[in-house]
Amino acid sequence: MWRTSLVSGVLLAASAGCTAGPRTTAEPRPAAGPRAAPDTAAADGRTWTPRAIRNDLPAIPPRTGPLRIQLMYPGEGYAVSVADSNFIFGNVGTGGATLTINGAPVEVAPNGAFLAFLPVPSDGLYRLAAAKGGERTELQRRVRVPGGATGAGETGIVAASVTPAGALTGVEGERITVRFRGAPGAVARLLLPDGRTVPLVEQRSVERAEGFMQDRAVAPRQVTEYAGSFALTQAITSRDTAVRAPTLVTAEPNARAAVIEFTRDGRTTQQPLSLSAGVLRAGETRKGVAATGRVEATVIGTAIPGSGTPYEWFFPNGTRFTIDGEREGAYRVRLSRDQSVWVSAADVRLEPVGAPPVTGTVGTVRLDPAAEWTELRIVTSDRLPFEVRAEERALEVRVYGAETRTNWLQYGAADPLVRRAEWRQEADDQYVVRLELNAPVWGWRSFWDASGALVVRVRRPPLIDAAAPMRGLRIALDAGHPPGGAIGPTGLTEAEANLAITRRLAAMVRAAGAEVIETRPDERPVELGARPMQAAAQDADLLISIHNNAFPDGVNPFENNGTAAFYNQAPSLELARRMEAEIVGELGLRELGVARSDLALVRPTWMPSVLTETMFLMVPQQEAALRDPAVHERIARAHFRAIEGFLRARAAGSER
């Protein structure tokens, strides 16, 4: 599972799985079968009769036990992130029971498990009642709902929703957008310290959750979003002394606060922005150096600041930056006239004001072949920002802030892997080297060497015997979680299921002649970042991360479950496609398809790497299947076939 959220003391994620269930209205009816499809719909579109769809999972084995309600999700006091409909799951301890949740009948599986997708109670209270053979038991679970105790307060504004907040630095004249959530139907405006007034206009909200559209009922919104923008021309300070000052400019002692004014139902309130903003004058920038304490010694760049944004740029320590902005604890790095990225301010050492500009030249470019790789060595006059992008049979290295002085592009000794190398000055401040290969790209690393040259180490494909494609290879297998992980209605954890599958796959891969690297060989937790680092440090030829899944709030699990495979780098796409095809073909679950995603286990560049999400633990039939050793064997065998097919295809016509 991935993109986690805390649920009932365990971490759940976002992706896909398979089985069905009802939506509930004033006259709900329980669902049956593995997936629902609309047969008949009411006028409001919220009721239908489910229709089963076949899959190749075993039936849920019956269980008889004491009648007791165990609610796995949501947990007591959990802050639900949607206001209309959400899933709820757990078990009643025995099959053959009946269950209602807030009066709506919910199907109970033969083992006592249940899953429902129901309206979120406006009072935040779920009321569950189970019965069997004259015995009855009840449970109540209170949650926090949007717009309730954690929503808009007396001011009508959800305080924690106001952005930007904290320290901010921008270029003079740069437009700054202010957003917040608040009660609908109000008139809001921003009062700036220089006397300007900026309307903050109510917005049409679009809610999405990690690849799935949330189910939205026709229900009145309790909060909405307001937004407006202004040109930054003078410093702003926060009245809150806990808000730190900007770090890129000197604080201005006479700066004053900006205030949000909010008028609704004839009542006007004000809330100061918790923002301290500084201004860089035209042509003014700061310089910095990548200096992270991360184990991999790489500073990560994102397209926008803040958490939850994909990692797209990777700068080795020592890379120099031109910086022209600051917000949310990040610096804006100006790569070129048209492109900037954001890096954590904690990972940058600022140079003194007046430090020389981050520009330079590129001199000699040389290829140096070795037994296991070939190195592309680019001599630069400074450690300039760069990025490496892979295609099927090519790599491009883009150096920012660079002009060419390349009189020599030297191929070095004859190398069957290299087809052609060329350079171009793509823009005044961008220099590109393109390396075309005679084989699909297998992997690469990039770093600054001791002389200050930029080195891109291009890995040679392993020698593969088509008759025994895994023989002699080193394959890393990752049993996803813990920490974190999904959980099912009867308490099966994702970590347990993943490990059982991975152990069977490891035995198959060893029997096929490969060396296996197990990143989590037993039940003990292994930190997320340590797993891909172990695979790269041990020169794994492939990295396969095995997961099962869960949804974020608001996604109907009956309509969206299935199987998915994830990759990040181009060399991994074909392996992900084979994984998806083999698992779907084996189990018959809905094909959610292959997706490119920014997950830690698929981000490595040194080898092809994929992450699979076979099923959804919250779906009763799928959780039950994941307890079955025969199903573990089938899932492992599907992964094995995908690995074997990928390697056999790569064996044909590859050059080293």
pLDDT at 55: 83
Q: How confident is the model at residue 33 (pLDDT cuts 50, 70, 90)?
A: very low
**At residue 234, does pLDDT exceed 60?**
yes
Mean pLDDT, rounded, for 481-496: 97
Least confident of 80-84, 201-205, 349-353: 201-205
**At residue 218, does pLDDT exceed 70?**
no
**At residue 212, does pLDDT exceed 90?**
no
Laid out side by side, the sheet with 104-106 consists of: 104-106, 98-101, 125-132, 135-142
Count of positions (residues) in the chain: 656
pLDDT at 222: 63
Where b means 16+ CB within 10 Å and e means fewer, 547-566 reads bbbbbbbbbbbbbbbbbbbb
The CATH number of 474-651 is: 3.40.630.40
Least confident of 16-30, 91-105, 441-455, 556-570: 16-30
CATH 2.60.40.3500 maps onto the chain at: 360-459
Please say whether the structural domain 286-350 has been given the CATH code 3.40.228.10: no
pLDDT at 214: 52
Dist CA 456 CA 418 (whole Å): 14
Q: What secondary structure letter does DSSP report for 196? A: -
CATH 2.30.30.40 maps onto the chain at: 286-350
CATH class of the domain at 159-280: mainly beta
pLDDT at 462: 97
Mean pLDDT, rounded, for 248-258: 92
**At residue 208, does pLDDT exceed 90?**
no
Least confident of 7-16, 288-297, 316-325, 442-451: 7-16
Q: How confident is the model at residue 51 (pLDDT cuts 50, 70, 90)?
A: very low
Which residue reads 């896909």 in tokens? 16
Give percent above pLDDT 70 in the chain: 87
Dist CA 516 CA 586 (whole Å): 24
CATH 2.60.40.10 maps onto the chain at: 159-280
- The 3-class secondary structure across 261-273, one letter per residue, is EEEECCEEEEEEC
C-alpha distance across the termini of the chain, in Å: 36
pLDDT at 221: 53
CATH topology of domain 360-459: Immunoglobulin-like (2.60.40)
Least confident of 194-203, 218-227, 602-611: 218-227
Mean pLDDT, rounded, for 347-366: 95
Least confident of 69-73, 104-108, 144-148: 144-148
**At residue 242, does pLDDT exceed 80?**
yes
The letter for the amino acid at 149 is A
Q: Which residues contact 286 (CB under 8 A, 6 or more apart)?
A: 248, 280, 322, 323, 324, 350, 351, 353, 355
Dist CA 298 CA 545 (whole Å): 23
**Helix segments in 174-222, DSSP class H:** none
**At residue 260, does pLDDT exceed 90?**
yes
pLDDT at 467: 96
Comparison of pLDDT for 9 and 329, the residue scoring more: 329
Comparison of pLDDT for 290 and 357, the residue scoring more: 290
**At residue 15, does pLDDT exceed 50?**
no
**At residue 5, does pLDDT exceed 50?**
no
CATH 3.40.630.40 maps onto the chain at: 474-651
- Half-sphere exposure in the Cβ direction for 581 (13 Å, CA): 11
pLDDT at 269: 94
pLDDT in tens, 180-202: 999 899 999 999 999 999 999 99
pLDDT in tens, 409-452: 999 999 999 999 999 999 999 999 999 999 999 999 999 999 99
pLDDT at 81: 86
**C-beta of residue 181 within 8 angstroms of C-beta of residue 221:** no
Mean pLDDT, rounded, for 493-511: 99
Tell me phi and psi for residue 538, to 5 degrees.
-95, 15
Mean pLDDT, rounded, for 380-392: 97
**At residue 219, does pLDDT exceed 50?**
no
